[in-house]
Structure formats: C-alpha cells, structure tokens
C-alpha cells in the first residue's frame, strides 16, 4: 500500500508542477529580465506606489460589490428553485453554465446591445413611456461605462452560480429546525435566522467567494467598461507586459495578485467543505411544492426580472445575429446574410473565416478538453479514498488562484523557449496547455464528487472477486459514474472553446472563434459578430444539454 501512495503522491506532485509551471516560468523569466539595475528598492517602490494601491483597492472593491450584488439577485432564485416546481425552474438552474462558458467578449457585446444608449432597453423604455403618456422614463444613458455599470454586468453575469449552489443546499435542508423554532414561538424571520440561515451560510459564502474570485480576475469586461474608473490587477499586468515592457511592475502586481487569490481560494475551499459537510446529513431532497397565491406572484415577478435583465441581453444577441440592414438607416429585416458573409460568400470577402476559425477552435479545444479530462480524471482517482479530503481540496482549488493572464503568459514563455523555430506551433501548444490548466480542476472536482457519492461497496465487491485495484476502478466505478464524466467532459469543452482571454493575450497564430468575434467587433461588424457569437454560444451551450452539472461548480 505504501508504494501505491507514493505513486499517487508523485502523480499529484507532477500535476501540481504542471499547473504551477506557467507561474514559475513567469516569475523566473521576469525576475531575470530586469537584470542588474533591478534592486529590491525598485520593487519596493512599485509596491508602495499610489497607483499600485489604487489598482488593488479598485480590484477588491469592485469584486466585493459585484459578488454582494450577485447574491442579492441570486438568493431569491435559489429559494424558488429549492422550494417550488414551476415552469422555467430547469432553465434557471441551467443558467449556471453561463458564467463558466459564455465568453466575456459576448457578454460585453450583448450588454452593449441591450443596455446601450440605443439598445433594446432604451427602446423599450421609450416605447413604454410613449404608450403610458409619460414624458420619458429615461434611457440607460451610458451608465454601463462606470463603476456601477461594471459591477452590474459582473453581478448579472455570475448570479446563476448562487441559484445553483445555494439552491442545491436549500433543497435538501430539513425543515425541522425552522419548524421547531416556530413551535417555540419564534416569528417567521427569527425562525429563518435560527433554523435556516446558519445552515445555508457555507454555501452562500462559497458562491460569494467563487464570484469574488471571478471578478477579481476580471479582464475583458474591465478593459472595455472600467478604464475610466480604474483597472484590475489583471488588466494592469497585461498592460505592463504587452504595452510597456515593464516586467518589474508586472512581477510585483502578479505577486500581490497571487497572494490575495490564494487567500480567496482557501476561503472558497473552506466554505465548499463546510457546504458539502452540511449536505451529508440531510439525506434525500425535500419534495417541492407547486406555488400558490403569493408564491405564484413571487415566481412570476422573479422570472420576469431575470427574463428582462439577464435573458434580455442574450436575446438581443440572437436577434441581432439575424438582423440585416441593406442600407444604413434603412429598415432592418430578418435574414441569414450575416452567417453567409462569414463563410466567405458575402460581398467582399473571399476566405471562409467562420469555417477556418471554427475548425481551429474545435481542434484546439477538443485537445485541451481531452487533456483536461485526462488530468482531472487521474487526479480524481489518485486523491480519492484519502483519509482527509483536505489534500484533494487543496490540489483542485489551488489552480483557481492562478490568473488566466499569467497562465497564458507563463505558457507562452515556456513554449517559446522550447520551440523557437515555429511560432505558430509554440502558440498553439501554449494555448492548449493554458486552457487545460484552467479547465482540469473543474473536471477533477466533479469526478471526485461523483466517486464520493458512489461509496465503496461496489469497488470492494469487485476487489473481493479478484479484480486488481485499477481494474475495479475502471470497470466498475468509472462505468457507474459515466454520466458525470460525460458532463464534466462537456463542461471542459465548453470552458475551453469559450475562452477568449488566453487566445487574446497570446495573440498571433490562427484565429479561434472567440478571437474572430473580437476582431469582428473590432472592425465594427456587430451583426456578423453576433452571428459568430450565436454559433459559439451554441457550442458552449453543450453543457446545458447534460442534466448533471459538474459538482466542482456547485
């Protein structure tokens, strides 16, 4: 047995090294680049510069406000999903794939289309005020481009995580405690505070810290909507490296960022453990009721709210993809021309941009996803059945503390030193490695959760009947958790194909679909960008079609 453990530990060390290698590569190279003139004094100066402090406080405050706002939007949904059966319940739950799979480029696009000055919401408000006889209910008037716009987008991008995570715990929470408190004479609110809230808290905090972490690393959205207010550390690192060649500044900011992210990831892991420990004692899911009276009103209002403010932008994206304007100022009409133009049969293109980028995206993402699944699956099997789950938690949470921008730069540095002869090759390899670095922990978490749920009986039975440990694992256990693996695979694929940050940071090379969308937006072809975006959304939406959501997210 001792030998086996050594193999396991060794393997985990390798994975850890693989995951941390971009970070190591980054720190090693940038600290070397500065050369002789760099002193601790310089680094200290950067660390204590007012601009560093401003970036840090902006990063933290926007992440805090965004995550609190996401909780406010998400918790009512979590309650409804946990307590009631209603049409649209599954949709609300399925939305949780959005924050992981919908690329920020598309979020930016759809929010501008919907909340922008000439966007759908403004049109809706104008129409409404006209028909109701008010002077003007106002327009959204450019609120997107400030602090509140930024946190608003973050909150609406991420709130489905709360519905999924908190809803799942709430659903299984026994009512007995709250009922006991009520019997003892507590008021409704008091009973909730004593009987329910403490048990929900770990899952609430877990969701919040996950959203906080996402917003902490926010990149594209801050770049477009936040630059007048400030920038996140992630954006500053990118700027320092890509534009100023200031590796010292990048180094200092990256060090600060990584330390804080480790803290958040640690909190995330703690709360996650708390939430799942809480769940273990609950047993079966409580039966859900059909909503009555007030509950019906609540369900309708909440669905309408989400429908307008969250589904609205996505709908705007879809409609815009099919909107064709033959002449400027002319009446827009429905049509497929945006798609046709992308395939090179349009009015002034020759290359099949859509086909090329799609093929490239599919190749890169499939390989990255398979790599992520390979690593995630093996990690899951290596760390399971350890006495304490702490080790596996650390192993799967740690990678989440590494910034995507750093991961991309790190892999670019590493692949650049190995294969300097072919930049394209190095670029593709870096992209695949970076994407799989980010995706595998989600796979591992989901498989670990599925294996935990399985218990040991079947495995032990197979062992008793003479199967080797590996055979027992593969033949018996993996067969059992097949659906979970499949959904984890779909999830990994969605994550990697939707990734735009890594591709944009790496730059150059062949275009992936998210990069094509970015370039289409750049050359002000919004409608064609929407068309390409719709195809991407469809591909990333694959995760929607699998019933089981990866537990790593939950």
- Among positions 6-25, residues that touch another protein (CB under 8 A) are 7, 11, 14
Residues 194-233 within binding reach of another protein (CB under 8 A): 223-225, 227-230
Alpha helices in 196-246 (DSSP H): 197-216, 220-225, 233-239
What span, in angstroms and rounded, lies between the C-alpha atoms of 512 and 408? 15
Segment interacting with another protein, rule: CB under 8 A, options 69-77, 91-99, 310-318, 326-334 = 326-334
What span, in angstroms and rounded, lies between the C-alpha atoms of 545 and 367? 21
CB of 319 to another protein, least distance (A): 14
- Among residues 115 and 302, whose Cβ is nearest to another protein? 115
Among 318, 363, 386, 389, binds another protein (CB under 8 A): 363
CB of 425 to another protein, least distance (A): 5
Among 106, 107, 375, 398, binds another protein (CB under 8 A): 375
Residues 36-75 within binding reach of another protein (CB under 8 A): 51, 54
Residues 263-322 within binding reach of another protein (CB under 8 A): none
Among 52, 378, 407, 437, binds another protein (CB under 8 A): 378
Among 5, 57, 175, 424, binds another protein (CB under 8 A): 424
Query: Are 516 and 349 within 8 A, CB to CB?
Result: no
Segment interacting with another protein, rule: CB under 8 A, options 204-212, 269-277, 300-308, 419-427 = 419-427
CA 330 to chain centre: 39
- Among residues 245 and 455, whose Cβ is nearest to another protein? 245
Q: Does 139 bind another protein (CB under 8 A)?
A: no
Beta-carbon neighbour count of residue 130 at 10 Å?
Answer: 12
What span, in angstroms and rounded, lies between the C-alpha atoms of 179 and 300? 27
Q: Does 112 bind another protein (CB under 8 A)?
A: yes
Q: Does 116 bind another protein (CB under 8 A)?
A: yes
Binding mask 425-444 toward another protein (x if CB under 8 A, else -) reads x--xx--x------------
What span, in angstroms and rounded, lies between the C-alpha atoms of 434 and 443? 15
Among 131, 176, 183, 327, binds another protein (CB under 8 A): 327
Question: What is the total count of residues that contact another protein (CB under 8 A)?
Answer: 72
Task: Provide the token pair at 168.
Answer: 């799942």
CB of 235 to another protein, least distance (A): 9
- Among residues 48 and 285, whose Cβ is nearest to another protein? 48
CB of 98 to another protein, least distance (A): 23
What phi, psi does 116 have (nearest 5°)?
A: -65, 175
Which residues fall within 8 angstroms of residue 244, CB to CB, at 6 or more apart? none
CB of 507 to another protein, least distance (A): 5
- Among residues 422 and 460, whose Cβ is nearest to another protein? 422
Q: Does 519 bind another protein (CB under 8 A)?
A: yes
The position carrying tokens 């062949």 is 510
Element (H, E) at 120: helix 120-132
- Among residues 62 and 206, whose Cβ is nearest to another protein? 62
Task: Provide the token pair at 203.
Answer: 């899952």
What span, in angstroms and rounded, lies between the C-alpha atoms of 276 and 367? 32
Alpha helices in 507-554 (DSSP H): 513-522, 526-540
Residues 74-103 within binding reach of another protein (CB under 8 A): none
- The alpha carbon torsion through 460, 465, 470, 476 (nearest 10 deg) reads -70
- Among residues 374 and 453, whose Cβ is nearest to another protein? 374
Q: Does 461 bind another protein (CB under 8 A)?
A: no
Per DSSP, the three-state class of 486 is helix
CB of 374 to another protein, least distance (A): 4
Among 185, 283, 329, 466, binds another protein (CB under 8 A): 329
What span, in angstroms and rounded, lies between the C-alpha atoms of 421 and 347? 38
Q: Does 537 bind another protein (CB under 8 A)?
A: no
CB of 72 to another protein, least distance (A): 25
CB of 321 to another protein, least distance (A): 15
Query: Are 85 and 93 within 8 A, CB to CB?
Result: no
What span, in angstroms and rounded, lies between the C-alpha atoms of 526 and 533? 10
Among 485, 530, 537, 539, binds another protein (CB under 8 A): 485
What span, in angstroms and rounded, lies between the C-alpha atoms of 444 and 19? 13
Segment interacting with another protein, rule: CB under 8 A, options 38-46, 185-193, 398-406, 520-528 = 520-528
What span, in angstroms and rounded, lies between the C-alpha atoms of 106 and 119? 15
CB of 33 to another protein, least distance (A): 8
| DSSP 8-state symbol, 284 | S
Q: Does 118 bind another protein (CB under 8 A)?
A: yes
- Among residues 453 and 483, whose Cβ is nearest to another protein? 483
- Among residues 203 and 487, whose Cβ is nearest to another protein? 487
Residues 463-482 within binding reach of another protein (CB under 8 A): 468, 470-471, 474-475, 478
Which residues fall within 8 angstroms of residue 462, CB to CB, at 6 or more apart? 471, 472, 475, 476
The sign of the dihedral angle between the CA atoms of 400, 403, 408, 413 is negative
Q: Rounded to whole angstroms, what are the CA distances from 201 to 158, 204, 266, 480? A: 18, 5, 17, 32
End-to-end CA, the chain? 33
CB of 522 to another protein, least distance (A): 3
């Amino acid at each position: 047995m001792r030998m086996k453990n050594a193999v396991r530990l060794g393997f985990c060390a390798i994975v850890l090294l693989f995951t941390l290698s971009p970070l190591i590569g980054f720190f090693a190279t940038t600290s070397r680049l500065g050369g002789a003139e760099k002193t601790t004094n310089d680094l200290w100066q950067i660390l204590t510069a007012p601009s560093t402090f401003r970036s840090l406080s902006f990063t933290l405050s926007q992440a805090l406000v965004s995550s609190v706002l996401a909780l406010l939007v998400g918790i009512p949904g979590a309650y409804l999903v946990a307590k009631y059966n209603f049409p649209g319940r599954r949709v609300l739950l399925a939305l949780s794939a959005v924050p992981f799979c919908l690329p920020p480029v598309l979020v930016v696009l759809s929010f501008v289309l919907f909340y922008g000055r000439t966007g759908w919401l403004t049109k809706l408000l104008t129409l409404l005020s006209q028909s109701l006889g008010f002077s003007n209910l106002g327009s959204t008037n450019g609120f997107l481009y400030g602090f509140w716009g930024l946190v608003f987008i973050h909150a609406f991008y991420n709130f489905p995580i709360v519905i999924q995570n908190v809803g799942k715990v709430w659903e299984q929470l026994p009512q007995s405690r709250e009922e006991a408190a009520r019997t003892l004479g507590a008021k409704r609110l008091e009973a909730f505070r004593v009987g329910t809230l403490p048990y929900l808290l770990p899952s609430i905090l877990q969701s919040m810290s996950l959203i906080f972490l996402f917003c902490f690393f926010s990149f594209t959205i801050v770049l477009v909507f936040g630059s007048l207010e400030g920038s996140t550390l992630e954006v500053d690192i990118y700027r320092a490296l890509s534009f100023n060649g200031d590796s010292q500044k990048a180094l200092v900011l990256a060090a600060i960022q990584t330390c804080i992210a480790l803290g958040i990831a640690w909190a995330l892991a703690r709360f996650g453990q708390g939430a799942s420990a809480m769940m273990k004692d609950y047993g079966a899911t409580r039966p859900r009721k059909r909503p009555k009276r007030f509950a019906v009103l609540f369900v309708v209002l909440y669905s309408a709210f989400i429908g307008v403010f969250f589904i609205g932008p996505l709908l705007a994206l879809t409609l815009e993809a099919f909107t064709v304007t033959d002449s400027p100022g002319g009446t827009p009409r429905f049509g497929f021309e945006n798609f046709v133009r992308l395939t090179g049969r349009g009015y002034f293109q020759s290359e099949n941009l859509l086909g090329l980028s799609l093929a490239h995206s599919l190749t890169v993402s499939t390989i990255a996803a398979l790599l992520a699944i390979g690593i995630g699956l093996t990690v899951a099997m290596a760390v399971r059945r350890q006495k304490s789950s702490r080790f596996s938690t650390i192993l799967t949470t740690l990678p989440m503390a590494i910034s995507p921008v750093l991961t991309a730069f790190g892999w670019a540095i590493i692949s650049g030193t190995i294969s300097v002869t072919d930049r394209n090759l190095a670029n593709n390899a870096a992209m695949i490695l970076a994407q799989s670095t980010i995706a595998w922990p989600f796979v591992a978490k989901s498989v670990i959760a599925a294996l935990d749920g399985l218990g040991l009986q079947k495995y032990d039975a197979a062992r008793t009947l003479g199967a080797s440990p590996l055979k027992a694992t593969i033949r018996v256990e993996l067969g059992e958790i097949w659906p979970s693996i499949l959904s984890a695979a779909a999830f990994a694929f969605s994550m990697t194909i939707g990734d735009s940050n890594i591709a944009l940071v790496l730059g150059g090379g062949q275009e992936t679909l998210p990069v094509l969308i970015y370039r289409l937006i750049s050359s002000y072809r919004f409608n064609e960008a929407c068309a390409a975006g719709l195809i991407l959304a469809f591909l990333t939406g694959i995760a929607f079609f699998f019933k089981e959501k990866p537990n790593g997210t939950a």
